[in-house]
Amino acid sequence: MVSKQLLLAEDDELLGSLLRFRLQKVGYEVAHVTDGKQVKEHLGEDIPDIIVSDIMMPYFSGIELIDYVRNELDSKVPIIIISSAGNEENVLSAFELGANDFISKPVSPSELLVRVARELNKT
Amino acid sequence: MQFTAQIYRTYDLITAPKIHTDLLWDLTLLFLGIAFLYFLAIFLFKKQLSKRSNKTKKIKQEIAPMISEFIFLEEDATKDEKSSYVNLKVEIRELIKSAFYRKTVTEILMDLRKDVSGTARKRLFELFKDLGLHQESYKKLHALRWERISKGIIELTQMRVKESYGLISKFINDKRPTIRKQAEIAVVTLKPEGINHFLDTTKHRISEWQQLKLMEVLSNKENFLPPSFRVWLTSKNKFVVLFALRLIKHYDQNDAYASITELVKHKNNRIKQEAIDCIKTFHITDAIPTLKTVFWKCSVNIKIAILDAIGNLGEKEDLPFLKLIENKESSFPVRSKALAAINMIVPETVLPTEGIVDTKNYNIPKDIRGAKMETMPEDPTIDEYRDTITPENTADTSTDDNSETLPEADVISDQGEADLVSIKNEKKDDEIAPISEEPGEAIVENTQKMTGTSLSDEKKSIDQDQKTESISNTYSMKDNHEPKDPKPKDVTKNVSESSAEHESSKKDTMEAPTEIQPAFSIAFLPVVIDGSVGTDETETTDNVETTGETDDVVDIKVDFELLAPIVEDTKEITEERKPIRFDVTDAEMYFIPIVENPLPSVTAQYSFADASVKTQTDFKELEVVDYNEIIALEKAKKPGFVDAKELVVRYEAISATPEVKTGFDINELPVVYDKVLGNGPSDNAQNNPAVNTIAPEVTEPMFTVVFKDLPERPVQVPLESTDVNEITVSYEEIKSIALDQWLPVSKETEFKEEPTNTPLDHDMDAEIANSPDTEEDIAANETEETAEESIAEQDIAEQQLPSWLLKEIEAPEETTDKTTAIKMEGPEWEAKTSKMIHDINYYLQYLPSNKKYDSDMVDTMQLLDDIDFFGDERELPLLDELMQKEKKEAALVRIKDIMARFQGNAPLDDGNATETEGTVKNNEPYSIFQEFFRHCDTDSKLILLDEIVAVGDHKEVYFLGKLLSDPERRIRRKAAKTLKELKERLGIDPEQNIEKREQATVLNAPGDSSEGKIERLLGQMDIQPPKEKGIFDIDFELLGEEAPTTVTGPKAKKKSGSVRDSIFKLFQRTNKKK
């Protein structure tokens, strides 16, 4: 079975490292980036099977990322947004722009796994 | 001018100072130097910060994967993963010896705690404690600086170290507010009972922000069961009272009405305000008089709050009070609120007056005005009321009344009462609605009258309400409120009052008291029938006597109707004689006591006219119960009356439907065995009904009971009948496996004692407890019992057996049937049987007994296995705690075993223990490092030896002893050094050092030369001496000296020497000792 590629955009290195470890443990091929520039660079090279992105990131927010992927790259890759609790407006904007799912902080790694698997199963 | 002259004179005195140029240069250089130093300090400080930040970042990058490993280690991890886990643990423990690392790891864990949830978060908490970082936080609690203490409390709180509860709770009354607040939050967070402790003990102020934080903590607590906060309403700390009131409101604890009402009188405005809010929230209508009492002494805000509460809870009785406020209160917001409250109680009472044009002076043509007035008649009372509440009037009255002292509640009531008396005199009788007939309409009517009428009219209606609506008020409900007064009012009193009032008002028009229209159905009155058809009036003497008012009603002339006799068709008569009913809703009639008939309702049809008619086939005859009536009729003996003895009472057939249990648990049923395959006859059970109903507890492993077509438990079996004995239960045969030929007779004899038709209502547990033990019976058959013993046992058994079972046992015919059906006789059979039983018992004693663990036990044993495998002496506190909690013997034995081993008092396992993958020998302590040493290279082994010094224990001492004979020299040397350091760390007595003793023995062997001893010692240490002695001079660290781990430089030279020299020194030292 070919492992799925996952792009994890999370500016908090600790959390990113933790989530990457968890996702790698179940077999995903995870690329962890910490800001918007790196996200763009990574997406310019290759489009992963799924993107998990924080909303608040330097240079390039999660909302802009969705807009970039959906409109400029014209890709339908599933995007899961990680947002802080009580950030409903951003979440709504994300959904309007084409986000597939969202998960709020504090993140339960197990929950994230389930959501990622569900989105990949849809595709 | 004079002033100007002075100024000029003063300026004249100022002259430019003469400063030497060199001094100026010196000063310039000085300030330049200071500036340089300043910028240099800033630069250095910033660089240091940057360096520290980079270092922290680097450490975080280094440690984050380790923490991820710790968090996501699964229970079913492979052995490699577990080994890696142990390695990481060793590594991280080594790292956190450094204070900087410790601080960084703590920061990482605290940061991650915010970002992760669920199981990962719990693992973080565990890891925090496991790494011993909470000890560092404990130390902070003892610091002198408040910020360190506060930080320690925060760390312990956020990482949920419940053990710190006792330590932190001491800071609740600390004089430093920051520490105090942190302690309050910590205490509430760490334990559910923390809030109780906090409210009980705090003496200080609880700020608003702090209250919000505490409520947030409580709201976020999982499975939090709030205590009854009314307990703290009596606290001497007013902030506790205030907080308790808020908590009561937050958790909807409506069990403190009296206390809350009393707190309205509190001198603190915030408590008062909160109490009023509670009153409004919980609809405490009983508190309205208290609110009215305290109103006049309150501040404006409290007055507004009180008026708001009265507006929400009040009724029409409160309108005079509100009107009084509107007239007497000087504050505009209060007056406005009073008007708003009036409108809240009775909407549209006060109409808008501001900017309303007076239409009285409009020139409208007479014809148009007439037509308009006819179509839209304006209620004059509205104008009247508007006049009373015009701003001019209110201003006047308020200014007049302001000079007076604030009235008390009794003054208000007096005034209101005076108004009511005057209104009462003016009120006409025809305006009073007959409440006894149609109370609902009366309410509506009165409410309509209230709308747009003046307050005096309202008072009239209030008076009217007092007389006539006392009942209706109790059951009239507002649209969006609950009933105002939860206490039941004295309805009977109100009814009697209303009827009395009604009577007095109509006294003149009434001719006889009997003409009062009753408020209730009169269907229960006996019907008086004239024998002749027509409209003749008959005196009713005896019949009325039954009502108990014979003297007054003897002369009453009663109109009556003719009732046709019942012949065949009872339906027609039933329709004709419907009871008189009033159109009242259930809500209106709720004050009537509800009488429940315990028996099914029976409708009886009386036939007075034709008593000789016999009953229908579906009717039954009943005896007349009302003897008084019969006697009265008998005494009458007048024409037109019917002899009551001849009355035939008809009633409808009663279909009794008692409550039947519609389902029951199949577990309550006894297990039923139909067939017992074995040596007995296969159709035994079919022949013998007793076997069908027995419920033996099968304890022997010889049988496998297979149930077929039985659903999973529990099963609810619907019952159509009340007799549960009729239930049939599906079952299948009991098959014996392999031993079916051996089935002893004694097993069947058990069945003989079992009863038939076991009732379901007996205690199954008792039955099971009293059921005979099969093995005992077998043994009893083997050894021949005396008659006395059997009798004694029988007596005991009879005492223990329930009565129904005894009856069944005593039934002679059934007993004989059972014995004859299954008994197998003959000496050959008995001999064979006893041999077989002996064989069975022989094999049974070698079979391991079943260990039936429940899920908790399995978890515990699993945990103990893990501890056994991974743990060391540091797990002793945990084991100790487990031992205190655990009650099961198997677990206790296991814990004791592990503890003994960790303490070094016992070998790894008992004699039956097998070797764990070849690494563990019997009676040898197992070290985890043995595994690592097997697979790693020499360098790794050397690193691990360093780790052993840090984390090793007694097990490692043994292991290191073995390493002293390792083929690799570096390992041997390092092991010796490690062994020494480890023993020092563990506090092992050097005299007990086996190696030393051995060396001493070797060196002091009698008749040995020095060279021989050395050679023997070298042989013992597995050291091959070089051929050339010059090569033998190498640097090495002396075993017995306290050298640092790495010694370099001149000191190293001093301490280094040849092996030969060292051994000689050792030899000399040993001789000196001797």
CA dihedral for B7, B9, B13, B16, sign (positive or negative): positive
Per-residue pLDDT for B375 more than 70? no
Q: Which amino acid is at B613?
A: V
Structure tokens at B810: 């005593």
- CA–CA–CA angle B564, B569, B573 (5° rounding): 40
CA distance A119 to chain B (A): 21
- Give CA torsion, residues A19, A25, A27, A30, to 10 deg: 30
Identify all chain A residues contacting B121, using CB atoms and an 8 Å cutoff.
Answer: 106
Condensed to tens digits (0 to 9), the pLDDT of residues B853-886 reads 677 788 888 888 888 887 777 788 888 888 888 8
B589 confidence band (pLDDT: 50, 70, 90): low
Cα separations in angstroms, A47 against A37, A75, A76, B303: 15, 8, 10, 68
Q: pLDDT per residue over A27-66, tens digit each?
A: 999 999 999 889 989 998 889 999 999 998 898 889 999 9
Task: Please report the number of interchain residue pairs, chain A to chain B, with beta-carbon separation below 8 angstroms.
Answer: 57
Residue of A8, A17, A22 to mutate for B, most B C-beta atoms under 10 A: A17
Nearest CA-CA distance, residue A32 and chain B, Å: 13
For residues B1005 and B1016, is the Cβ–Cβ distance under 8 A? yes
Q: Is the pLDDT of residue B34 over 90?
A: yes
More reliable by pLDDT, B521 or B39: B39
Query: Would the pLDDT of B947 be above 60?
Result: yes
Residues comprising chain A, all counted: 123
Is A109–B61 a contact, with Cβ atoms under 8 angstroms apart?
no
Indicate if the alpha-carbon torsion angle A43, A48, A51, A57 is positive or negative: negative
Closest CA relative to residue B330, chosen from B275, B401, B428, B230: B401
CB contact under 8 A, B112 and A18: yes
Measured CA to CA, the distance from residue B991 to residue B187 in angstroms comes to: 50
Say how many CA atoms lie within 13 Å of B596 toward its Cβ.
1
Residue A71 to residues A54, A61, B67, B207: CA-CA distances in angstroms? 19, 15, 39, 52
With the C-alpha atoms ordered B771, B777, B778, B781, is the resulting torsion angle positive or negative?
negative
Q: Cβ distance B244 to B230 under 8 Å?
A: yes
Residues of B in contact with A106 (CB under 8 A): 114-117, 121
CA–CA distance, B475 with B469 (Å, rounded to integer): 10
* CB contact (8 A) between residue B116 and residue A109: yes
Residues from chain B that touch A105, judged by Cβ atoms under 8 A, are 114-115
Task: Give the one of B60, B69, B114 whose C-beta lies nearest to A106's C-beta.
Answer: B114
Does the structure show a pLDDT above 60 at B201? yes
Interface residue of A18, A19, A20 to substitute, partner B, most B CBs within 10 Å: A18
Q: What is the pLDDT of residue B475?
A: 36
Residues from chain A that touch B61, judged by Cβ atoms under 8 A, are: 13, 17
pLDDT computed for residue B1024 by the predictor: 58
Sequence-separated (6 or more) residues with CB below 8 Å from residue B698: B705, B774
Query: Which residues of A fall within a CB distance of 8 Å from B118?
Result: 108-111
> Which DSSP helix (H) or strand (E) runs through B865?
helix B855-870
Q: How far apart are the first and last CA of chain B?
A: 115
Among the residue ranges B124-128, B138-142, B151-155, B790-794, the one predicted with the least confidence is B790-794
Any A CB within 8 A of B363 CB: no
Question: Any idea what the CATH number is for the domain that residue A30 is in?
Answer: 3.40.50.2300
Q: Which two tokens stand for residue B116?
A: 């992760």
Q: What is the tally of helices (H) and strands (E) in chain A?
A: 5, 5
Question: pLDDT at position B537, please?
Answer: 40
Contact (CB<8Å) A14/B116: no
Is B295:B264 a contact under the CB 8 Å cutoff?
A: no
Nearest residue in chain A measured CA to CA from B114: A106
| Residue B529 pLDDT > 70 | no
Helices and strands counted in chain B (H then E): 51, 6
Secondary structure of residue B269 in the 3-state scheme? helix
Q: pLDDT, tens digit, for every residue of B664-675? A: 444 545 444 444
When CB atoms are compared, the residue of A15, A25, A111 closest to B112 is A15
Per CB-CB distance under 8 Å, the chain A contacts of B115 are 12, 14-15, 18, 105-107
| B53 lies within 8 A of chain A by CB | no
With CB atoms and an 8 Å threshold, state whether A12 touches B115.
yes
Per-residue pLDDT at B569: 44
Which residues in B lie closer than 8 A to residue A25 (C-beta atoms)?
72
* Amino acid B943: pLDDT: 82
Nearest chain A Cα to B108, which residue?
A14
The reported pLDDT for the residue numbered B971 is 84
Q: Do A18 and B67 touch (CB under 8 A)?
A: yes
pLDDT at B838: 84
Q: Does B58 touch chain A (CB under 8 A)?
A: no
Helix (H, G, I), strand (E, B) or coil at A80: strand
Residue of A nearest to B111 (CA): A14
What pLDDT score was predicted for residue B722? 44
DSSP string for B577-621: TPPP-----TTTTTTSPP---SSPP--EE--SS-TTPPPPTT---
Candidates B717, B669, B469, B501; CA nearest to B588 is B469
Residue range B1048-1071: mean pLDDT, rounded:
52
The four Cα atoms B213, B216, B222, B226 give a dihedral, to 10 degrees, of 90
Please tell me the distance from the alpha carbon of residue B174 to that of residue B143, in angstroms, as a whole number: 14
> What percent of chain B stands above pLDDT 90?
23
Residue at token pair 């003046």: B454
- pLDDT tens for B914-939 read 344 333 444 566 777 777 777 777 77
User: From residue B219, how far is each of A84, B213, B821 by CA, in Å?
Assistant: 19, 10, 71
Number of domains in chain A: 1
Interface contact B110, partner A, CB < 8 A = no
Strand bridging mode B703-705 / B734-736: antiparallel
The reply to whether residue A107 touches residue B117, judged by beta carbons under 8 angstroms, is yes
Nearest-neighbour CA in chain B from A86: distance (Å):
14
Q: What's the domain range around A99? A: 5-122
Q: Minimal CA–CA distance to B634: which of B548, B565, B542?
A: B542
Question: Hey, which of A29-33, A41-45, B453-457, B970-974 has the most confident mean pLDDT?
Answer: A29-33
Name the minimum distance, in Å, from the CA of A116 to any CA of chain B: 17
- What amino acid occupies position B556? I
Q: What is the pLDDT of residues B555-578, one digit of tens each?
A: 555 555 555 444 444 444 444 444
Confidence at B976, pLDDT banded by 50, 70, 90: confident
Q: What is the pTM of this model?
A: 0.44
DSSP three-state, residue A53: strand
Q: Is the predicted ipTM greater than 0.85, yes or no? A: yes
Side-chain-facing half-sphere of B550: CA atoms under 13 Å: 7
**Are β-strands B557-558 and B538-539 bridged in parallel, bridged antiparallel, or unpaired?**
antiparallel
> Do residue A106 and residue B65 have CB atoms under 8 angstroms apart?
no
Q: Check: CB of residue B275 under 8 Å from CB of residue B266.
A: yes
Strands A5-9 and A50-54: parallel
Best residue in A10, A11, A14 for a mutation probing chain B (most B CBs within 10 Å): A14
Nearest chain A residue to B118 by CA: give it.
A108
CB-based contact B981:B1046 (threshold 8 Å):
no
Instruction: Please judge whether A108 and B119 are an interchain contact, meaning their C-beta atoms are less than 8 angstroms apart.
Output: yes
Cβ atoms B677, B740 nearer than 8 A? yes
Q: Do B112 and A14 touch (CB under 8 A)?
A: yes
